[in-house]
C-alpha cells in the first residue's frame, strides 16, 4: 500500500473511531482511558455535549466570513479572554506555532519602534514553541533544528529557571527586546521553575523595558488549575501571552494576547490570518470557557491533582529507578533514571493512553473532567507499568 501521508510522525498502530468523555474506542471496538487529551487539547474530554451543540448550531448558522468584516463572536471571545487573563487585546489565529509567530513579530516590531534594527529575543534551553521556522528556532531542542538550518537570526538562548543567566544575557545583548518562555516546560520534560522565577523574569523585563512573552499554549485554559499558569504567581502579568490547544477543545484556534507595552505594536496590515477567529472557532472557544466555569473544572483539577500526586508517591515509594514525580495541575511528569519510551506501547496494550517526553519522563495530560475513580485507575495502571518496567531492567541500568 502506498503511503500518501508524509511520515512526519512516528505513529502507534491504533486508530480511534469515537470518543465519549475520557474514553476512546478504536476500530476493533477496544476502549482506552485517555490520559493525554490529544496532547493537552481535549481538556473537556471527547464529544462534550455543550461543544458538540455549539459546533452543530454555529456550523448551521455561519462558519466563516473574513477578517475584513466585523465578527461579533470574535469580539465576545476577546472580551472573555481579556477578562479572564487581565490582558488587553487579542489576535486570533489557528495554532500554537502561529500564536508564537505573532508574538515574535510583535517583539521585533516593538524593537524597531525603539530604534533597534536587529532585535534579539531571549529564549530558553529545553523550550518548545512550534515547528514553523521562527518558532523552531525559538525552540531549545537541537533535534527540532536539525536539517532546517539556516535558522532565523535574532534569538539567543539561556538555561531555563536561571535568573542570573538571564540577567547576564540581558546585559550582554543591548539589542534584546523580549524574553520568551513557557511557565512550565511540558515538551521539554515537565520542568517546573522555582516559585520566584516568573516574578523575577517580570521584574527584569520591567526594569530593562523588555517584553515578557509567555507561551501558555500547553499550560493555558485551566490545565494547571488556574485559567492560565502564570496566575499561580500573584501580581505577574506578561506583556504577551499565547494560547491554542485546549482553547478549542479540538477545534483549531490560537490566540496571541497583549498588554502594556505590547498593545498597539501591530497595526492594520502588519499581520493576519484567513481563518483566524472565524465565527465557528470563536463560538466553540466561548463554549469551552463557559463550560470550564459552569462545570467547576478548576476545582476538579486542584482536588484530583493532590489525589493523583499522593497516589503516585505512595505507589512508587522506594522505587530506585524513579528520579522524581512532578506535577503542575493536570500536567504530570514521572521522571525515570533510564529511557522508557516503550512504556507508551505497554500502556496502550493495557488500554491507557500516555506519552513519554525527553526520553525518560512519562507525561500525563488527562482531560480535566476525569472523576476520582478514573484518576485512581490512571495512577494504578501507570504505577504498575513503571514497577514492572523497572523490575525488568538490569540493576546497573537503574542505579
Active site residues: 128, 215, 245
Residue from the set 54, 84, 244, 334 that interacts with ligand PLP by CB under 6 A: 244
The nearer residue to ligand PLP, 182 or 374, going by C-beta atoms, is 182
Cα angle 186-285-241, degrees, rounded to a multiple of 5: 45
Number of Cβ atoms within 10 Å of the Cβ of 250: 21
Site for ligand PLP in 309-368 (CB under 6 A): none
Cell of 201: 523574569
CB of 158 to ligand PLP, least distance (A): 17
Stretch that binds ligand PLP, among 68-76, 103-111, 180-188, 200-208 (CB under 6 A): 180-188
Q: Is 217 in the site for ligand PLP (CB under 6 A)?
A: yes
Are 40 and 190 contacting, i.e. CB atoms less than 8 angstroms apart? no
Q: Is 95 in the site for ligand PLP (CB under 6 A)?
A: yes
The nearer residue to ligand PLP, 11 or 69, going by C-beta atoms, is 11
Task: Please provide the distance, in angstroms rounded to a whole number, between the alpha carbons at the two ends of the chain.
Answer: 45
Reduced to 3 states (helix: H, G, I; strand: E, B; else coil), residue 47 is coil
Stretch that binds ligand PLP, among 43-51, 179-187, 199-207, 261-269 (CB under 6 A): 179-187
Q: 213: part of which helix (H) or strand (E)?
A: strand 211-215
Please list the helix, strand and coil fractions of the chain in percent, rounded to the nearest 5, in that order.
40, 20, 45
Stretch that binds ligand PLP, among 22-30, 79-87, 91-99, 200-208 (CB under 6 A): 91-99
Q: Is 220 in the site for ligand PLP (CB under 6 A)?
A: no
Burial 43-63 (b: 16+ CB within 10 A, else e): bbbbebebbeebbeebeeeee
Q: Is 182 in the site for ligand PLP (CB under 6 A)?
A: yes
CB of 208 to ligand PLP, least distance (A): 24
CB of 5 to ligand PLP, least distance (A): 17
The nearer residue to ligand PLP, 96 or 321, going by C-beta atoms, is 96
Question: What is the distance between the alpha carbons of residues 212 and 330, in angstroms, rounded to a whole number?
Answer: 25
Cell of 237: 502579568
Owner of C-alpha cell 523574569: 201
What one-character DSSP code corresponds to residue 12?
A: -
Q: How many residues bind ligand PLP (CB under 6 A)?
A: 15
Q: Is 225 in the site for ligand PLP (CB under 6 A)?
A: no
The nearer residue to ligand PLP, 173 or 275, going by C-beta atoms, is 275
The nearer residue to ligand PLP, 213 or 340, going by C-beta atoms, is 213
Are 58 and 65 contacting, i.e. CB atoms less than 8 angstroms apart? no
Residue from the set 186, 212, 213, 214 that interacts with ligand PLP by CB under 6 A: 186
Residue whose C-alpha is closest to residue 217's, from 39, 8, 379, 347: 39
Owner of C-alpha cell 511520515: 7
CB of 34 to ligand PLP, least distance (A): 17
Phi-psi region of 237 (alpha: psi -120 to 50; beta: other; left: phi over 0): beta
The nearer residue to ligand PLP, 48 or 129, going by C-beta atoms, is 129
CB of 92 to ligand PLP, least distance (A): 13
CB of 197 to ligand PLP, least distance (A): 16
Number of Cβ atoms within 10 Å of the Cβ of 232: 17
Partners of 46 in the β-ladder: 21
Site for ligand PLP in 116-135 (CB under 6 A): 128-130
Residue from the set 101, 215, 226, 239 that interacts with ligand PLP by CB under 6 A: 215
Contact partners, residue 231, CB within 8 Å, separation at least 6 = none
The nearer residue to ligand PLP, 230 or 379, going by C-beta atoms, is 230
* Residues near ligand PLP (CB under 6 A): 39, 95-97, 100, 128-130, 182, 186-187, 215, 217-218, 244
Amino acid at each position: 500500500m502506498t503511503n500518501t501521508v508524509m511520515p512526519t510522525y512516528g505513529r502507534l498502530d491504533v486508530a480511534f473511531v469515537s470518543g465519549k468523555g475520557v474514553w476512546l474506542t478504536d476500530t476493533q471496538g477496544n476502549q482506552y482511558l485517555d490520559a493525554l487529551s490529544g496532547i493537552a487539547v481535549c481538556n473537556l474530554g471527547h464529544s462534550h455535549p455543550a461543544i458538540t451543540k455549539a459546533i452543530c448550531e454555529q456550523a448551521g448558522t455561519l462558519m466563516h466570513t473574513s477578517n475584513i468584516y466585523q465578527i461579533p463572536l470574535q469580539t465576545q471571545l476577546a472580551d472573555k479572554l481579556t477578562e479572564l487573563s487581565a490582558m488587553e487585546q487579542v489576535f486570533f489565529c489557528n495554532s500554537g506555532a502561529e500564536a508564537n509567530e505573532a508574538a515574535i513579530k510583535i517583539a521585533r516590531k516593538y524593537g524597531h519602534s525603539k530604534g533597534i534594527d536587529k532585535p534579539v529575543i531571549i529564549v530558553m534551553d529545553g523550550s518548545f514553541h512550534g515547528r514553523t521556522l521562527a518558532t523552531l528556532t525559538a525552540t531549545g531542542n537541537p533535534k527540532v533544528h536539525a536539517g532546517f538550518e539556516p535558522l532565523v537570526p535574532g534569538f539567543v538562548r539561556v538555561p531555563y529557571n536561571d535568573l542570573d543567566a538571564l540577567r547576564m544575557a540581558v546585559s550582554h545583548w543591548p539589542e534584546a527586546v523580549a524574553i520568551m518562555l513557557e511557565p512550565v516546560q511540558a515538551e521539554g520534560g515537565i520542568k517546573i521553575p522555582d516559585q520566584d522565577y516568573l516574578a523575577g523574569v517580570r521584574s527584569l523585563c520591567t526594569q530593562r523595558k523588555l517584553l515578557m512573552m509567555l507561551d501558555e499554549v500547553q499550560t493555558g485554559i485551566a490545565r494547571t488549575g488556574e485559567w492560565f499558569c502564570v496566575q499561580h504567581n500573584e501580581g505577574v502579568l506578561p506583556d504577551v501571552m499565547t494560547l491554542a490547544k485546549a482553547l478549542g477543545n479540538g477545534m483549531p484556534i490560537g490566540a496571541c494576547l497583549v498588554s502594556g507595552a505590547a498593545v498597539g505594536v501591530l497595526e492594520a496590515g502588519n499581520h493576519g490570518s484567513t481563518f483566524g477567529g472565524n465565527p465557528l472557532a470563536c463560538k466553540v472557544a466561548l463554549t469551552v470557557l463557559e463550560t470550564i466555569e459552569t462545570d467547576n473544572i478548576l476545582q476538579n483539577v486542584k482536588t484530583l491533582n493532590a489525589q493523583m500526586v499522593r497516589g503516585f508517591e505512595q505507589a512508587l515509594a522506594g522505587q530506585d529507578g524513579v528520579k522524581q514525580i512532578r506535577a503542575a495541575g493536570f500536567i504530570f511528569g514521572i521522571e525515570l533514571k533510564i529511557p522508557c519510551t516503550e512504556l507508551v506501547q505497554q500502556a496502550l496494550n493495557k488500554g491507557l493512553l500516555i506519552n513519554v517526553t525527553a526520553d525518560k519522563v512519562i507525561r500525563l495530560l488527562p482531560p480535566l473532567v476525569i472523576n476520582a475513580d478514573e484518576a485512581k485507575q490512571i495512577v494504578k495502571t501507570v504505577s504498575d507499568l513503571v514497577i514492572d518496567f523497572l523490575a525488568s531492567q538490569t540493576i546497573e541500568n537503574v542505579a
